[in-house]
Amino acid sequence: MKQWISLVLCACLAVSLCGLPAYAADDRIEVTEDISVSADYDWTRFAGKNVTLNVYNWGEYISNGSDESVDVVSAFEQLTGIRLNYTTFDSNETMYAKIKSGAANYDVIVPSDYMVAKMAAEGMLAELDLENIPNLALIDEEYKNRDFDPGNRYSVPYMWCTTGIIYNTTMVETAPQRWADLWNEEYAGSILMFNNSRDAYAIGAFKLGQSINPDTVEEMAAVMDELKAQKPLVQAYVMDEIFDKMEGGEAAVGVYYSGDAITMIDDNPDLAWVFPEEGVNLSIDNLCVPATSQNREAAEMFINYLCEVDVGVANCDFIGYSTPSSAVREQLDEELSESPIAYPADEVLANAQVFTNLSDEINDELDVQWSEMKSYNEGGNAYAMLFLLAAGVLLAGFNIWRKLRKKMRNDY
Amino acid sequence: MKLNNRKLAAPYLVWMVLFTVVPLLIVVYYAFTNVEGAFTLENLARVGGYGSVFVRSLLLALEATVLCLILAFPVAYFLSRLRASKQHIMLMLVMLPMWMNFLLRTYAWMGLLSVNGPINTLLGFLGLGPYTMLNTAGAVVLGMVYNYVPYMILPLYTSMTKIDASIVEAAQDLGANVRQTLVRILIPLSVPGICTGITMVFVPSVSTFAISRMLGGGANLLIGDLIEMQFLGNSYNLNVGSAMSLVLMVIVLLCMSFTSSFDEDEMEGVM
């Protein structure tokens, strides 16, 4: 009987403890002097359980305490008692290859729009339990429910940016206005293009007024022909090398992402940015949980944490990309929150297109044509291979002949 | 345990089987199968479509190898004729660049060759230029030569130190002029070094991808870039990528069998 009473008492105690607000009247928990998070969330449920989250993010894509920034990573560890194992990648495709190979186990990844669609279609993403991510409400409607993930079943927007043209005002007579200007002889030899097939394709598609997500191979071939025609004018196909080349005045006109353009213009005030008239590519990077994750709930907690206003502000300050949350934008320095590059006018965004996943057939064909375009200035494909085979056979024949001759000599 | 006990090689043998032989077999498997795992020759047929890239890679690597040989031969000869103490210092100088990271050195060339770079600035003082040097096939060859020339000098030097000075003197005493000494004495006696050097420069040159990316401006695609695109590119096609690697391996094997056939008898302690 006594046991029963004590059990009931224990139960009452437990219920009353749970019922009590874990944190007093103030609805914010101050983690560090820069970061306080909503108290209306059970942040500590994994404390002391020795949980480690493997986070796989783009390089330089979180405020991690370097350059005297706010360290949101250690603040999360302090808040929740969850350890973060943070690693980085440099392209969606690298990240995809690593997850696909199954060689590594991650809990939170940050794919871009089209990669979310691709991974979701292949069953590589876990469906999110939005109950655990109440801060999704802080994200603006226009970044939710996009074609690549209707209803945000798999992804929560993290950052976004657009593409556009960056140019050196001292090196061009007339400023570029449109994507089509990248085919202008005036800039011959000083144009920098994207060295990745999807982004480069989008530019050709905008010029022709087509969708940046081709449905048919014919549609794609037309755009690739444009890129081939542009090749003699292009100085180089680059990715991050563009920072040095634009800042150093090596090239006059380049195409890149708005978030990075802000950094470049900071370093070289001669540079200017333009949103081409034909439209821009709006690219949204998203927080997702891979299907193989063993700590989904903790991963969702981390995603929720990244959506907190203070954390978002720290990240935006550090990264320079645009936030999908108005609440975060309002807290930013005016220089950044009112930047016409980071937050373009509505008419620019009205014209923006977002990447979606392409079918395997189109993806394959895109890569074939892309590499063909890049090796295009040398003709005679079929003959070249024949020449190669002939050279190989000749070489082998010569070897055999030498061996035979040597053997005959030795026989004497 | 006797020192010639074969079991001593076991750790390395296990290592080699695990990390060389097995991966090679996996590459072969992928090259001859499709996504479903069924046998197919389609991957190899698709590699044929990239013939121009293969030819370009081979030609550029060939140019780089020949340039390395021309540059390295006299250097190696004079090195081998120096006093022993000086030889050590000079050899160290040859190897010095290799102490720095390969990517870093190539990156430095990017700055040097650029339109606003130091080379063009210097030429500007002389009233020349500016020349477009970066993002050309020439820049790629330069990058290869710069990075791989030590691999040509070292084997050449090793084989030349074995040439007795008295042999050269004898040739000259018997009336051979400089050209004859070179063609009939020095070159034949350094064939093992030449062969090793050619292999050690040609093979990395033909498969490089970082150099063409940085100095070729992404427009001078090489086999290495192509293979990288299959594994880390938009299409993610392991099978075609493996088929390309296989073709590349066959090319390299052919090249090695060609060079090694020259020095089967003379080859000793160089490789």
Task: Using CB atoms, pick whichever of B55, B218, B233 lies closest to residue A387.
Answer: B55
Would you say A164 and A262 are in contact if contact means Cβ atoms under 8 Å apart? no
Query: For residue B218, what are its two tokens?
Result: 């992404």
Q: What pLDDT is stored for residue A289 in this prediction? A: 96
Q: What pLDDT is stored for residue A302 in this prediction? A: 95
Q: What pLDDT is stored for residue A12 in this prediction? A: 47
Q: Which residue of A has its CA nearest to B257?
A: A399
Which helix (H) or strand (E) element contains residue A382? Answer: helix A381-411
Q: Could you read off the pLDDT of A54-97 as tens digits, one per residue?
A: 999 998 899 988 878 899 999 999 999 999 999 998 888 889 98
Residues A132-139 have a mean pLDDT of 93
Q: Please determine, for the modelled complex, whether the ipTM score is greater than 0.90.
A: no
Max Cα–Cα distance, chain A, nearest Å: 110
Cβ count near A208 (within 10 Å): 15
Q: What pLDDT is stored for residue A373 in this prediction? A: 85
Task: Using CB atoms, pick whichever of A235, A375, A377 lies closest to residue B135.
Answer: A235
Give the type of residue at B141.
V
Least confident of A267-271, A358-362, B142-146, B251-255: B251-255
B34, B236, B247, B249: best to mutate for the A interface, most A CBs within 10 A: B236
What residue ranges define each of the domains in chain A, with the CATH number in brackets? Answer: 31-157+284-351 (3.40.190.10), 161-282+361-374 (3.40.190.10)
Q: Could you read off the pLDDT of A300-316 as tens digits, one per residue?
A: 999 999 999 999 999 99
- How close is the nearest chain B Cα to the Cα of A178, in Å? 24
Would you call B218 and A367 a contact, using CB atoms and an 8 Å cutoff? Answer: no
Q: How many CB pairs under 8 A join A and B?
A: 116
Query: For residue A182, what are its two tokens?
Result: 């990248």
**Chain B contact set for A372 (CB, 8 A):** 49
- How close is the nearest chain B Cα to the Cα of A278, in Å? 25
Residues A93-106 have a mean pLDDT of 87
Q: Could you read off the pLDDT of A215-264 as tens digits, one per residue?
A: 999 999 999 999 999 998 999 998 888 998 999 888 999 999 998 898 89
B232, B244, B250, B259: best to mutate for the A interface, most A CBs within 10 A: B232
pLDDT at B1 over 60: no
Residues A276-293 have a mean pLDDT of 94
Handedness of CA A312, A317, A321, A323 (dihedral sign): positive
Would you say A307 and A133 are in contact if contact means Cβ atoms under 8 Å apart? yes
Q: Could you read off the pLDDT of B96-150 as tens digits, one per residue?
A: 988 889 999 999 999 899 888 889 889 989 888 778 888 888 999 999 999 999 9
Mode of pairing for the β-strands spanning A253-257 and A155-168: antiparallel
- The three-class DSSP label of residue A180 is helix
Task: Using CB atoms, pick whichever of A198, A249, A392 lies closest to residue B234.
Answer: A198
Task: Using CB atoms, pick whichever of B116, B218, B233 lies closest to residue A250.
Answer: B116
Would you call A381 and B52 a contact, using CB atoms and an 8 Å cutoff? Answer: yes
Q: Could you read off the pLDDT of B195-234 as tens digits, one per residue?
A: 899 989 999 999 898 898 889 887 788 899 889 888 887 7
pLDDT at A378 over 50: no
B234, B248, B264: best to mutate for the A interface, most A CBs within 10 A: B234
Q: What pLDDT is stored for residue A4 in this prediction? A: 58
Task: Using CB atoms, pick whichever of A97, A388, A395 lies closest to residue B51.
Answer: A388
Output A71 or A371, whichever has higher pLDDT.
A71
Residue A22: pLDDT band by 50, 70, 90 thresholds?
Answer: very low
Q: Distance of CA A155 to CAs A35, A150, B234, Å?
A: 24, 10, 21
Averaged pLDDT score across all residues of chain A:
87
Q: Could you read off the pLDDT of A188-206 as tens digits, one per residue?
A: 989 999 988 899 999 999 9
pLDDT at A26 over 80: no
Q: What pLDDT is stored for residue A19 in this prediction? A: 41
Q: Which residues contact B238 (CB under 8 A, 6 or more apart)?
A: B30, B230, B231
Query: For residue A165, what are its two tokens?
Result: 């043209």
Q: What pLDDT is stored for residue A253 in this prediction? A: 95
Task: Using CB atoms, pick whichever of B111, B135, B234 lies closest to residue A236.
Answer: B135
**Chain A contact set for B218 (CB, 8 A):** 195, 236-238, 374
Q: Distance of CA B46 to CAs A364, A384, B20, B237, B245, Å?
A: 11, 14, 26, 12, 13
Q: Which residues contact B221 (CB under 8 A, 6 or more apart)?
A: A371, A374, A375, B53, B56, B212
Query: For residue A365, what are its two tokens?
Result: 């064909």
Chain A (174-233) residues lying within 8 Å, Cβ to Cβ, of chain B = 189, 195-198, 231
A141 interfacial to chain B (CB closer than 8 Å): no
What residue ranges define each of the domains in chain B, with the CATH number in brackets? Answer: 51-236 (1.10.3720.10)
